[in-house]
Amino acid sequence: MRLLSVLRHRIQPLNPLSVSSRVSAMDASRRILKATVALCAAFLCSGSGPGFAQEAVVDSLRVYPPEIILETSRSRQLLVVQAVYSDGITRDVTSQAQVQLSNAALVRQEGSTLYPAADGEGQLTVSFGGKSLAVPVKVTKAAENRDVSFRLDIMPIFMKTGCNTGSCHGAARGKDGFRLSLFGFDPEGDHYRLTRELSGRRLDLAVPSKSLLIEKAVGAVPHTGGKRFAPDSEICKELERWVDANCPNDPPTVPTCTSIAIYPTQAVLDGEGEKQQVTVIAKYSDGTTRDVTSLSLFLSNDDSVASINPDGSVTAGQRGEAYIMARFATHTVGSQYIVLPKGLKFSFPPQTPVNYVDELVNAKLQKLRMAPSAVCDDETFLRRVYLDLTGTLPTTEDYQRFVPSPDPQKRLKLIDELLERKEFTEIWVQYWAEWLMIRSNNVISPKAALLYYNWLADQIGRNVPLDRMVQELLSASGGTFKVPQTNYYQNETDILKVAENVAQVFMGMRIQCAQCHNHPFDRWTMDDYYSFAAFFSQIGRKGGEDYREAIIFNSGGGEVAHPVGGRQMPPKFLGGAQPDLKGQDRRVVMAKWLASPENPYFAQNFTNRVWSHFFGRGIIDQVDDVRISNPSVNPELLAELSKRFTESNYNFKQLVRDICRSDAYQRSTARNDSNKTDEKNFAHANLRRLKAESLLDCISQVTGTKDKFPGLPVGARAVQIVDGNTSTYFLTTFGRANRETVCSCEVKMEPTLSQALHLLNGDTVNGKIQQGGLIAKWLGEKVEPLQIVERLYVGCVGRKPTAEEVAAFQPLFPAGADPKPVLDDLFWSLLNSREFLFNH
Amino acid sequence: MDTPPRPITGTWSDDPAHFRKVNRRNFLTVGALAGFGSLTLADLLRSEARAEKKDYASFEGTAKSIIHIFLPGGMAHQESFDPKPYAPIEYRGEMGNVQTKVPGVLFGDTLTKTAALADKLCVVRSMTHGEAAHERGTHNMYTGYRPSPALQYPSIGSVISHEYGPRNNLPPYVCIPTLPNIYAGTGYLSSAFSPFCLGSDPAGGGFKVQDLGLPGGIDDSRFSTRRTMLSAVNQHFQKKEASDLLNAMDTFYDRAYSLISSQQAREAFNIEAEPAALRDAYGRNTAGARMLLARRLVQAGVRLVNLTYGGWDMHNAIVPGFRGQMPAFDQAFATLISDLEATGLLKETVVMVSSEFGRTPKINATAGRDHWQKVFSVVLAGGGLMGGSVFGSSNATASEPEENAIGPEDLFYTVYHTLGIVGDKELMAPGDRPIEIIDGGQVRKELLS
């Protein structure tokens, strides 16, 4: 064990993120170029920085797996040796490395694979490029064979060869008369269907290779799915061995796979065509381990960057980052691959991180050899921060107060000031109303919806710590008028759907898949799903005094049964423990866990959603599609944000302040040579179209007009709409969420023909310009046309017109001509301009 | 090199139902490409989609457009296209029937004009699916899919937009008068493929397509000044910013300009331009105006026109219900078919009349019929489909398919086929899940001429 830990230490030897001595309170003077701090220095010391341009030497070796355990003659181990060079590049040197065993009799080596030869313990020493590393080897029962097991040996074959996928025999009705459970969620049923469902040819105990199961799969007889493997393959031999042994089922004591690991855990590949072999180790409930590389399914989340073949060999493609994932049994694990252009020379420019956000964003960029873009100018910042924090545009007065100010602290001050505005709260009430699906319908009366909304607005407005608010929401009992947050359970009454919604909104996970089969690309099994749903099986509902009111209470009875076998599922936290529920309301217990540091996804989910608001994409994106196969682009950043958010007692404003202060948020959209291909690591700012509500509010703001929405007073803004059912042509056309589902995908940002037509010809832009009458008013006040041009520019797009633009407009106002039509057209143009429609 | 690439066995790429990872594709990356060439957005989305594994190039189909007439509520098959005159009275209902032009084939007696054109129609009497709720049945009959809790499927119109894009400056998918239901939308596809909705009923007096005409006080020359000014205002930003989002937005502004500025395109919506006699023939009512406008639109280049007519959820008093609504449909539909025939459009236009389901075999206690999805009828015509035919049949009481049962999968697969689209082709859903346009359907050759 000690050796193992030493080894682990070596595995991640030079983490350039050791940021102990980082300066983090440099807010004030950040635009004054200070000395090169921290990062670069830390890098040079470590010697593995990508900025190191000298001839790279082997810096360390990584040997996988960290210990080699061979049990029974059927076991084996694929060995992988990875060399880490001083420039940070890694190479697969398994075939070049020298391997020496302290006791040569223990194992037999064929290529990179080790087979047991004799019982005993020893050490394997691997040397390459002047470095060497030893890993322990342990061989037991070398002479004993292991009996074939249906679950351990046969079920994985169905997954590896694609037999039990949804488009083949895993379909609910099977395929061509033969059904397997999807991704093997039901081994018992599969055994039954193989051995008992059909008499005759499916299995041939006398001549195993003549079993239809095998003949179809090797293509000896016509098979819709084609040839899956060769007759002389290991997989085929294993199937024959099982049939030959009379197709045994397993005793109930058969161990289950408890976790898997993929090695190497990280690789930095130097140019297209570079290769890296992976090895996958499974751990079982009886403590044994097994090399399952040949039985794992592999996947790259970006084939163009790194692709993987069925044998687990990764090939590098174009520059970028990809996650290589392996799936075995119900487990999926991933490892990070960074691919760089061959022989890239790059040095990370000196940075002065404002806070931990910058440190962590920059650290990732450094790994990718990308330089961040510069910080944006004051005009851009002013518009961006107003739109993001308040959903409004800075007024001309705001502009004149902020832009010329020489105060080095002015950005910080502005952020703090905007955080206290009521518009800031309203934006987040709107988000929450989407997540909680606040809308009236057949069950929820407009009155209940309004009370629900008011409860929410009050909670957010008072900055109630998030954990308390969510606990109050999810554990509430009472009337939907008196305790309006109980509407949450009135909105959706289906037990399974409630569980799915809770997981999606508060943990960012879509567990729907596991309703019918083990989630194929995440950890969630059907057991997890139904055990979690069981928390919501005892919600009682009855009518209140007012016919529009319902009362939600703890009925104390009702269970959830597993669809396979009908077992009653005891409530169990999603990815957590099975709590003691005696005498307690299940929802109360669940809510206490859900909104607490014990649930690691709670803070992460919320910080990710907040991040996404300010950057246009989450650190995990989509924000409500967190799964292993959709990895975080910067796990350290998300972890740190979540940790601090938790430690601050879920202080939302502090989180927003940290984000907005960072250079990462304040970057320009202009890209540089190194980061021009980046779309997800926040190396530069991204254009973001305004949300439907903000867009309408901004048009009303700059035209000086008021809107009237049903149920709201004149002048209320679109962001304040209470009921998801309330909409207008404008809002619907621009993709407002109607709050029918919890999905973040309800908000649509894609452009459509109807949007373009509406802005060009519709009554919103044209009507509001006339209705507001600003131009006529200014002309009446004898404001010069060119000055009006400037006012319009500052009002709509937050900047003064450039000299070129002024020069272009000048001739349009000849003396004596009526400037109004020209100014009207300009106003119309500005409201149709891309610069207006996007936050940039 | 001749054989198409096979999925690699033993990787997740092998599983076409889930998560085959191809290069990151979404609406935005496509926009990025649009900046570099003259390809349209739809071209790009199409060529990009071709790079995927389960893919088929579209081919020259027999049809170029579709008019989809949807009768919401669940139209009774017994009173319309599948009468059962020999069933007991509680099954056959009170209404009579009429002999059609096809010997031995009867229609309900409110469909006399249509009956006279039955030799042009392909009546499917064995339609069946498993959904007896309005919204679920509607989903089936707009997408060809059963509803899924995990995924929202695109409607046939959005799929066609995605596959073919606009023609003659007209939007590829138009709904008359508005979005009929949420399943007529884009589902998992980008909302860029959403239908263009008129926002106004052509039967109404002040019919005006939403935002199509220039606002009051703005004439063509003023609009062109505005366009010039807008492009000047945009210049500063465009020089500074390069983003796929911007390109995508530009694409739709360009489409809007071409729609607004093309007299021909705008004229397609102008129902007033039709001769008065023809308008009378269609009927100056909801059914007539919508169908006439649909014809104008497909004639001008729209690929799929969806229109709804009436309310057919006749739990009560089915006879007055039919007598009230069907004659207008009958007149309009018969005129539509003969008009399409006369203009030569019928051979390249599929007309589909459908509803979310049929109605119960027995008349209920309130003289109506309730929801019945086990068997019902759909009527097809034109576009290379078999005229003068009856496909499949229901049993003696119109309660089960008797022969040639056909589900939405096969119906849609066949309709897509007439347009040259292979239903087995996969489109990309979020999470990089490739999803077949139609799952598990096939071309029913008997429907084709």
Count contacts between A and B (CB, < 8 Å). 186
* Cβ A650 vs Cβ A633: under 8 Å: no
Contact A829 B15 (CB under 8 A): no
Domain co-membership, A231 together with A317: no
By Cβ distance, the residue of A513, A756, A828 closest to B256 is: A756
Q: Which residues on A lie below 8 Å from B242 (Cβ)?
A: 671
Are residues B340 and B245 part of one domain? no
- Could you tell me the end-to-end alpha-carbon distance of chain A, in angstroms, rounded to an integer? 53
Helices (H), A475-525: 487-491, 495-507
Nearest to B233 among A745, A761, A833 (CB): A833
**Residue A751: which of B192, B233, B236 has the nearest Cβ?**
B192
Contact A753 B259 (CB under 8 A): yes
Q: What is the pTM of this model?
A: 0.82
Q: Tell me how far CA of residue A433 lies from CA of A426, A452, A455, A711, B263, in angstroms.
A: 10, 9, 11, 16, 44
Judge if B107 and B135 occupy the same domain: yes
> What amino acid is encoded at B202 in this protein?
P
Q: Judge: B430–A308 Cβ closer than 8 Å, yes or no.
A: no
One domain for residues B145 and B184: yes
pLDDT by residue (tens digit) across A167-190? 789 877 788 889 999 888 899 999
Confidence at residue A199, expressed as pLDDT on a 0 to 100 scale: 77
Residues whose CB is less than 8 angstroms from the CB of residue A702 and which lie 6 or more positions away in sequence, other chains included: A393, A795, A796, A831
Residue at A66 is within a domain: no
Q: How far is A530 from chain B (nearest CA, A)?
A: 16
Tell me whether residue B27 is in a domain.
Answer: no
Q: Is the peptide bond before A77 cis (omega within 30 degrees of 0)?
A: no
Residue A406: C-alpha distances to residues A399, A401, A409, A410, B23 (Å): 13, 10, 9, 8, 47
Q: For residue B31, tell me if it sits in a domain.
A: no
Top pLDDT among A52 and B212 is at B212
Residue range(s) defining the domain that contains residue A285: 258-344
- Closest-approach residue (CA) in chain B for A838: B246
CB contact (8 A) between residue B211 and residue A758: yes
Nearest to B252 among A166, A513, A755 (CB): A755
In chain A, the number of structural domains is: 4
A163 and A268 in a single domain? The answer is no
pLDDT at B176: 93
Shared-domain flag, residues B334 and B224? no
Decide if B10 and A297 are in contact by the 8 Å CB cutoff.
yes
Q: Give the β-pairing of A306-308 and A313-316.
A: antiparallel
Contact between B318 and B312 under an 8 Å Cβ cutoff? The reply is no
Is B23 in Cβ contact with A826 (below 8 Å)? Answer: no
Q: A755 vs B15: CB contact, 8 Å cut-off?
A: no
What number is the average pLDDT over the span B431-437? 78
- A793, closest residue in chain B (CA to CA): B233
Q: Is residue A588 part of a domain?
A: yes
Nearest to B233 among A309, A752, A830 (CB): A830
Residue B41 lies in a domain: no
Q: Are residues B252 and B300 in the same domain?
A: no
Which residue, among A235, A219, A220, A216, has the nearest Cα to A159 in the 3D structure? A235
The predicted pLDDT at position A399 comes to: 97
Q: What is the pLDDT of residue A313?
A: 97
| Residues 6+ positions from A334 with CB-CB distance below 8 Å | A262, A301, A323, A324, A325, A326, A628, A629, A631
- To the nearest whole angstrom, how far is the Cα of B226 from the nearest Cα of chain A? 6
Handedness of CA A787, A788, A793, A794 (dihedral sign): positive
CA distance A757 to chain B (A): 6
Q: Chain A: residue nearest B16 by CA?
A: A167
Mean pLDDT, rounded, for B378-390: 95
B233 and A821 within 8 Å at the Cβ level: the answer is: no
DSSP string, B374-408: SSEEEEEESTTB-TTEEE-EE-TTSSSEEES-B-H
Cβ contacts of A735 on chain B, cutoff 8 Å: 191
* Of B82, B107, B42, the residue nearest B402 (C-alpha): B82
Nearest CA in chain B to A294: B10
Which two three-digit tokens encode residue A658? 């940290």
Cα distance from A344 to chain B (closest Cα, Å)? 24
Among B152, B186, B229, pick the best mutation site for testing chain A contact (most A Cβ within 10 A): B229
Residue at B342 is within a domain: yes
> B379 lies in a domain?
yes
pLDDT at residue B428, as a whole number: 83
Chain A: closest CA distance from residue B254 (Å): 9
User: Does B297 share its domain with B437?
Assistant: yes
Q: CA end-to-end span of chain B, whole Å?
A: 36
Which of the four pLDDT bands, split at 50, 70 and 90, describes residue B432? low
Query: Does residue A624 sit within a domain?
Result: no
Mutation target vs B (from A324, A515, A833; most B CBs, 10 A cutoff)? A833
By three-state DSSP, how is residue A459 classified?
A: helix
Find out whether B406 and B128 touch, Cβ atoms under 8 Å: yes
Q: B241: which chain A residues are within 8 Å (Cβ-Cβ)?
A: 669, 687, 834, 838, 840
> Chain B residue with minimal CA distance to A302?
B23
CA neighbor of B98 nearest in space, from B85, B87, B86, B112: B112
Picking from A300, A761, A835, the nearest residue to B211 by CB comes out as: A761
State the DSSP string of A277-346: E-EEEEEETTS-EEE-GGG-EEEES-TTTEEE-TTSEEEE-SSEEEEEEEEETTEEEEEEEEEE-TT---
Alpha helices in A333-421 (DSSP H): 356-367, 378-390, 396-402, 410-419
Residue type at B288 in one-letter notation? G
In this structure, the answer to whether residues A225 and A265 fall within a common structural domain is no
Q: Chain B closest CA to A828's CA: distance in Å?
A: 8
**Of B204, B234, B262, at which residue does a domain stop?**
B262
From CA A227, how far away is CA B92, in angstroms rounded?
A: 54
Contact A670 B240 (CB under 8 A): yes
CB pair distance less than 8 Å for B243 and A669: yes
Distance from CA of A34 to the nearest CA of B (A): 28
**Contact yes or no for B246 and A838 at CB 8 A:** yes
Q: What is the mean pLDDT of chain B?
A: 86
Q: Are B66 and B352 in contact (CB under 8 A)?
A: yes
Shared-domain flag, residues B169 and B240: no
**Distance (Å) from the alpha carbon of A483 to chain B's nearest alpha carbon:** 30
| A484/A569 same-domain check | yes
**Rounded to whole angstroms, how far apart are CA atoms B424 and B434?**
11
Read out DSSP for A15-44? -TT--TT------TTTTS-----THHHHHH
Residue A427 included in any domain = no
pLDDT of residue B149: 67
The pLDDT tens digits for B52-72 are: 447 788 888 899 999 999 999
pLDDT in tens, A30-65: 433 333 333 333 333 343 444 444 578 999 999 999
Name every chain A residue with its beta carbon within 8 A of the beta carbon of B7: 162
How far is Cα A661 from Cα A358, in angstroms, rounded to an integer?
9
Is residue B402's pLDDT more than 70? yes
Q: Which of B213, B252, B260 sits opposite A752 (nearest CB)?
A: B252
Query: Which segments in chain A show pLDDT lower than 50?
Result: 1-53
Tell me if B18 and A521 make a contact (CB, 8 A cut-off). Answer: yes
User: What is the rounded distance in angstroms from the CA atom of residue A60 to the CA atom of residue A6?
Assistant: 13
Tell me if A397 is assigned to some domain.
no
Q: Which of B80, B148, B72 is nearest to B112 (CA)?
A: B80
Which regions of A499-562 does DSSP assign to beta strands (E)?
539-543, 550-554
For residue B414, is it within any domain? yes
Q: Give yes or no: residues B235 and B343 share one domain.
A: no
Residues of A whose CB is below 8 A from B40? none
CA distance A516 to A743: 20
Q: Domain range spanning residue B440?
A: 56-212+269-444
Instruction: Confirm whether B227 is domain-assigned.
Output: yes
Amino acid letter for position B188: Y
Are residue A589 and residue A707 in the same domain, yes or no?
no
Last residue of a domain, one of A187, A219, A244: A244
In this prediction, residue B271 carries a pLDDT of: 93
CB contact under 8 A, A829 and B230: yes
On whether both B173 and B246 belong to a single domain, the answer is no
Nearest CB to A748 within list B191, B230, B236:
B191
With vertex at residue A677, the alpha carbon angle to CA A675 and CA A682, rounded to the nearest 5 degrees, is 55
- Distance, in Å, from the CA atom of B380 to the CA atom of B390, rounded to the nearest integer, reads 10
Place of tokens 């086929």: B417
A178, B109, B330 from B85: Cα distances, Å? 43, 11, 20
- Give the C-alpha separation, A798 to A782, whole Å: 23
The answer to whether the CB atoms of B14 and A165 lie below 8 A apart is yes
Number of domains observed in the structure of chain B: 2
Confidence category of residue B229, pLDDT binned at 50, 70, 90: very high
User: Which residue of B40, B233, B241, B253 is the best one to mutate when testing the A interface, meaning the one whose CB has the most A CBs within 10 A?
Assistant: B233
Do residues A227 and A283 share a domain? no
Cβ-Cβ contacts under 8 Å, A630 against chain B: 431
Closest Cβ–Cβ partner in A766, A829, A833 for B215: A766
Q: Largest alpha-carbon pair distance within chain A?
A: 106
Q: What are phi and psi of A198, to 5 degrees?
A: -130, 125
Domain boundary among B204, B239, B262: B262
- Same structural domain, B319 and B421: yes
Q: Look up tokens 């076991």; give the residue.
A: A75
Q: Domain check: are A834 and A761 in the same one?
A: yes
Q: Which residues of chain A are within 8 Å of residue B257 when distances are taken between CB atoms? A: 760
Residues B317 and B363 in one domain: yes
Instruction: Flag whether pLDDT at B299 surpasses 70.
Output: yes
The CATH number of residue B89's host domain is: 3.40.720
CB contact under 8 A, A229 and B9: yes
Asked if A833 and B259 come within 8 Å (Cβ–Cβ), the reply is no
CB contact under 8 A, B194 and A752: yes
CA distance A283 to A239: 23
A751 contacts B248? CB cut-off 8 A: yes
Do both A154 and A266 map to the same domain?
no
Same domain, B110 and B206: yes
What's the gap in Å between the CA of B272 and the closest CA on chain A? 22
